């Protein structure tokens, strides 16, 4: 039985502007009730017709988009989105391959054409860059933030006898200070980070996306199987909904509400 979760601290914060592509580390984040991290999964790359309607956005399963579960090669790309200008940059091995504005039709076309060529036979049809104001292309329909316990990731690494990169789990908030796997007992509990309150709603079930090393783009560890052998579940991390507004930052303490 894991030890009970107590005080912790934020080790790092990440967002993923384009679903499936690389994360961006943030110093601080402003959260609003019922929302995600700003610009988290704000875009997705449709891999053939998905039926997504930007005028009436609704949740769609990840397999309708480019995603690490099916498309490991996208992990070889380093991407960055600039909020102020709408500029999106794609680089590989330190070389910028595309830089285009996503608020411009020609810029979006340039990004789509890049991925059409880059994906080769993995393209199931026309690749389109999708977005809809206020919509997040999350793996779950409810707007949430994802929280990863770094001690759990370290324990998983011990079990497979090799380091496991925390970014395999594509979390928003990485915490240190909780005993390994203690987060599993926090469903329906409320976390406090300064003025921000977050209610834990469920654990995160893991899929083949976590098999991909974010540094090498290789499938090298069967993470779901390793999780099941270690814990009896294929979960790692928790989803939480934002209850109260405020700012959070790297280094902030995290406590459980009484």
| β-strands 173-176, 145-149 pairing | parallel
CA–CA separation, 173 and 188 (whole Å): 18
Whole-number pLDDT of residue 3: 76
pLDDT digits (tens, 9 = 90+) for 211-224: 999 999 999 999 99
Q: Are 60 and 137 in contact (CB under 8 A)?
A: yes
| Tokens 């929280």 found at | 147
Q: Which two tokens stand for residue 98?
A: 């595309």
Look up the pTM and report it. 0.96
C-alpha pair distances (Å), 78 with each of 24, 33, 37, 72? 10, 30, 20, 13
Q: Along the 258 residues of the chain, how does pLDDT read in single tens digits?
A: 677 888 999 999 999 999 999 999 999 999 999 999 999 999 999 999 999 999 999 999 999 999 999 999 999 999 999 999 999 999 999 999 999 999 999 999 999 999 999 999 999 999 999 999 999 999 999 999 999 999 999 999 999 999 999 999 999 999 999 999 999 999 999 999 999 999 999 999 999 999 999 999 999 999 999 999 999 999 999 999 999 999 999 999 999 997
For domain 8-35+140-256, give its CATH number from 2.40.10.10, 3.40.1080.10, 2.40.33.20, 3.30.465.10.
2.40.33.20
β-partners of residue 179 are none
Whole-number pLDDT of residue 1: 61
Whole-number pLDDT of residue 4: 84
CA nearest neighbour of 3 among 177, 156, 237, 182: 182
Residue 7's φ and ψ, nearest 5 degrees, are -65, 145
Please, where in the chain does CATH 2.40.33.20 lie? 8-35+140-256
């Amino acid at each position: 039985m894991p030890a009970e979760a107590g005080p912790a601290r934020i080790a790092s914060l990440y967002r993923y502007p384009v679903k499936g592509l690389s994360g961006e580390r943030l110093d601080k984040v402003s959260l609003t009730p019922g929302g995600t991290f700003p610009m988290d999964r704000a875009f997705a790359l449709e891999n053939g017709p998905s039926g997504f309607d930007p005028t009436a956005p609704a949740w769609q399963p990840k397999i309708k988009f480019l995603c690490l579960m099916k498309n490991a090669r996208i992990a070889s790309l380093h991407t960055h989105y600039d909020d102020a200008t709408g500029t999106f940059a794609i680089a590989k091995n330190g070389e910028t391959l595309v830089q285009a504005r996503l608020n411009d039709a020609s810029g979006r076309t340039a990004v789509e054409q890049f991925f059409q060529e880059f994906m080769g036979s993995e393209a199931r049809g026309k690749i389109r860059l999708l977005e809809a104001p206020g919509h997040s292309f999350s793996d779950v329909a409810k707007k949430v933030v994802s929280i990863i316990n770094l001690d759990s990731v370290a324990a998983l690494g011990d079990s497979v006898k090799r380091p496991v990169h925390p970014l395999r789990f594509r979390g928003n908030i990485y915490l240190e200070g909780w005993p390994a796997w203690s987060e599993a007992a926090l469903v329906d509990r409320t976390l406090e980070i300064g003025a921000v309150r977050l209610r834990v709603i469920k654990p995160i079930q893991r899929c083949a996306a976590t098999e991909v090393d974010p540094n090498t783009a290789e499938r090298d560890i069967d993470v779901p199987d390793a999780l099941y052998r270690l814990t009896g579940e294929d979960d790692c991390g928790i989803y939480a909904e934002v209850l109260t507004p405020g700012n959070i930052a790297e280094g902030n303490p995290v406590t459980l509400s009484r």
